[in-house]
Structure 1
Amino acid sequence: MKALVKEKAEPGLWLADVPEPRPGPADVLIRVLRTGICGTDLHIRSWDGWAREAVSTPLVLGHEFVGEVAAVGGEVQTVAVGDLVSGEGHLVCGECRNCLAGRRHLCRGTIGLGVGRDGAFAEYVALPATNVWAHRTPVDLDVAAIFDPFGNAVHTALSFPAVGEDVLITGAGPIGVMAAAVVRHAGARNVVVTDVSEPRLELARKAGASLALNVSTATVADAQRELGLREGFDIGLEMSGRPEAMRDMLDNMTHGGRIAMLGLPAEEFAVDWARIVTSMITVKGIYGREMYETWYAMSVLLEGGLDISPVITGRYDYRDFDAAFDEAASARSGKIILDWTV
């Protein structure tokens, strides 16, 4: 079968013929229809410091996908051939304290699809049935392909009750934009999204942001004044991993404010811990999705009318992967989709 492979320990990707995966008795074989390009995939393509530490070559990339079940193992009863499915890309051990307690998203032995094992940028992918999410109601294929990052947005955005709250989101990448749509749908009063990319800020406006703020020309304090906020933001969603964004967020939170932090910093940085303590601010780290409460919430949000399709800005034949990756790396786009059906 055709697959996008990191064949060599150097920058680049290769479209190659690889063996079709063989599912075990508890596994599901999925014919891939669409995939989404993630920042993780960009790191592996460029072969940066993180990728050199995390990835062993050769490796089939990809963890954002939707497909059709082609075969199931003899022990599988939860999905059937023909089902439309996406997949949870974190494969857990099932044996540690957190897994046994049902907190699988906290498993210390997690293996990432398309990072620690062959992924979904291929004509077929195999997954344990416990990692397969079947779409039981109609869903657009492009949207179903990005359930993984949509789940990051939902997990972060719904970490704290948002009804009637003023929310600050730092970082208008695709996950930040989807988070804006989620908190607006969940009843937030004001949703401010910050970035320095005007194309991405425009996506945030389309997603329902009350104010999309270019912090190269204005400040978060300016946004507070424009919206008439007297005491600061109630909830912060940090999506950028930028030190200055986190510091700005802390400076503009109300006392007792709550921050969910998804953005991964490139290195350690200092924050004003005295302010966190004296303002009694809660900071919660977010990684991945809760299995499978977040997945349930995603499906229900879409059934309830949430539209995240504006975040998808590019669609490519998988054979045009170089152009697709170039657009995804431009910091001007939203989500980029590869079509594996052509």
Structure 2
Amino acid sequence: MKALVKAKAEPGLWLTDVPEPALGPDEVLIKVLRTGICGTDLHIRAYDGWAQQAVRTPLVLGHEFVGEVVDVAPGVTGIAPGDQVSGEGHLVCGTCRNCLAGRRHLCRSTVGLGIGRDGAFAEYVTLPAANVWVHRVPVDPDVAAIFDPFGNAVHTALSFPLVGEDVLITGAGPIGIMAAAVARHAGARNVMITDVSPYRLELAERVGVSLALDVRTSTIEDGQRSLGLREGFDVGLEMSGRPEALREMVANMTHGGKIALLGLPTEEFAVDFARIVTSMITLKGIYGREMYETWYAMSVLLEGGLDLSPVITGRYSYRDFDEAFDEAAGGRCGKVILDWTA
């Protein structure tokens, strides 16, 4: 079968023939239909410092996907050939304290699909049945392909109650924009998002934010005044990993404000902990999705009319992967999709 492979320990990716994966115990064989390009995939293509430590070649990339079930191992129930499915890309041990307590997203031995084992940038992929999410209600394949990052957005946005709250989102990448759409849909009063990219701020406006603020020319405090806020934001969603973004967020939260952090910094940095303490601000780190409460919430949000179509801005055949990756790396885009049927 065709697969997109990190074949060598150097920058680049290679479209090549690899053996079709064998169906193991308790696994599901899936014909891949669409995949989404993630920032992680860009790091692996560039073979930066993180990728050099995290991956071993050869490796089939990809963890954002939708496909059709082809076969299931004996004993697998609830999943059948023909089902449209997405996959939870965090494979957990099942035996640690958190896994046994049902907190699988907190497993210390998590293996990443397309990072620690061959992934979904291929014509076929296998996954443990426990990692397969069946779409019981029809979902557009492009949207189903990005359930993984959509789940990051939902997990972050729904970490704290949002009804009637004023929400600040720093970072208008695709996940930040999806989080803004979720916050709006979930009943937030105001949703302000910040970035330095006019293109992405315009995308955010298309999902209905109250204010898309270019922090090159305006401050978050300016945004507060524009929205008529006197006491600061109630909920913060930090999506950028930028030191200045978190520092400004902390400075503009109301007393008792709550911040969920998904953006991953590249290095340590200082924050005003005295302000965090005296303002009684809650900080919560987010990684991945809650299995499977977040997945349930995603499906229900889409059933309830949440529209993610503005976030998807590029569609390519898998054969044109270099062009697709170049667009994704360029920053003037939302989510970029590879079609494995074209």
TM-score range, shorter chain: over 0.9
Q: Which residue of 2 aligns with 1:281?
A: 281
Q: Which residue of 2 aligns with 1:102?
A: 102
Identity of aligned residues (%): 80
Q: Which residue of 1 aligns with 2:88?
A: 88
Displacement after TM superposition at 1:206 (Å): 0.5
Paired residue total: 342
Q: Which residue of 1 aligns with 2:29?
A: 29
Instruction: Provide the rounded CA distance (Å) in 2 between the counterparts of 1:5 and 1:48.
Output: 16
Q: Which residue of 2 aligns with 1:309?
A: 309
TM-score by length of 2: 1.00
The equivalences for 1:82-161 within 5 A come to 82-161=82-161
Give ranges in structure 2 of 5+ residues lacking alignment.
none
Displacement after TM superposition at 1:311 (Å): 0.2
Which SS does the other structure have where 2:184 is aligned?
Answer: helix
1:284 aligned partner, one-letter code: K
The equivalences for 1:330-341 within 5 A come to 330-341=330-341
Q: Which residue of 2 aligns with 1:208?
A: 208
The equivalences for 1:47-62 within 5 A come to 47-62=47-62
Which SS does the other structure have where 1:277 is aligned?
Answer: helix
Displacement after TM superposition at 1:25 (Å): 2.5
Instruction: Provide the rounded CA distance (Å) in 1 between the counterparts of 2:30 and 2:62.
Output: 14
Structure 1 residue ranges, 4+ long, deviating more than 6 angstroms after superposition: none
Instruction: Provide the rounded CA distance (Å) in 2 between the counterparts of 1:234 and 1:33.
Output: 40
Q: Which residue of 2 aligns with 1:227?
A: 227
Q: Deviations over 1:62-120 (max 9, x none)?
A: 00000000000002112000000000000000000000000000000000000000000
Instruction: Provide the rounded CA distance (Å) in 2 between the counterparts of 1:228 and 1:332.
Output: 31
Over the aligned positions, Cα root-mean-square deviation in angstroms equals 0.4
Q: Which residue of 2 aligns with 1:46?
A: 46
Displacement after TM superposition at 1:23 (Å): 1.1
Displacement after TM superposition at 1:242 (Å): 0.2
Instruction: Provide the rounded CA distance (Å) in 2 between the counterparts of 1:27 and 1:60.
Output: 18
Give ranges in structure 1 of 5+ residues lacking alignment.
none
Displacement after TM superposition at 1:332 (Å): 1.5
Question: Conserved in 2, the CA contact under 8 Å of 1:262 and 1:286?
Answer: yes
Displacement after TM superposition at 1:57 (Å): 0.3
Which SS does the other structure have where 1:302 is aligned?
Answer: helix
Which SS does the other structure have where 1:5 is aligned?
Answer: strand
Question: Conserved in 2, the CA contact under 8 Å of 1:25 and 1:72?
Answer: no
The answer to whether 1:323 aligns with 2:323 is yes
2:321 aligned partner, one-letter code: F
Instruction: Provide the rounded CA distance (Å) in 2 between the counterparts of 1:104 and 1:23.
Output: 23
1:84 aligned partner, one-letter code: Q
Q: Which residue of 1 aligns with 2:217?
A: 217
Which SS does the other structure have where 2:330 is aligned?
Answer: coil
Q: Deviations over 1:34-71 (max 9, x none)?
A: 00000000000000000000000000000000000000
Instruction: Provide the rounded CA distance (Å) in 2 between the counterparts of 1:330 and 1:219.
Output: 25
Which SS does the other structure have where 1:244 is aligned?
Answer: helix
Q: Which residue of 1 aligns with 2:248?
A: 248
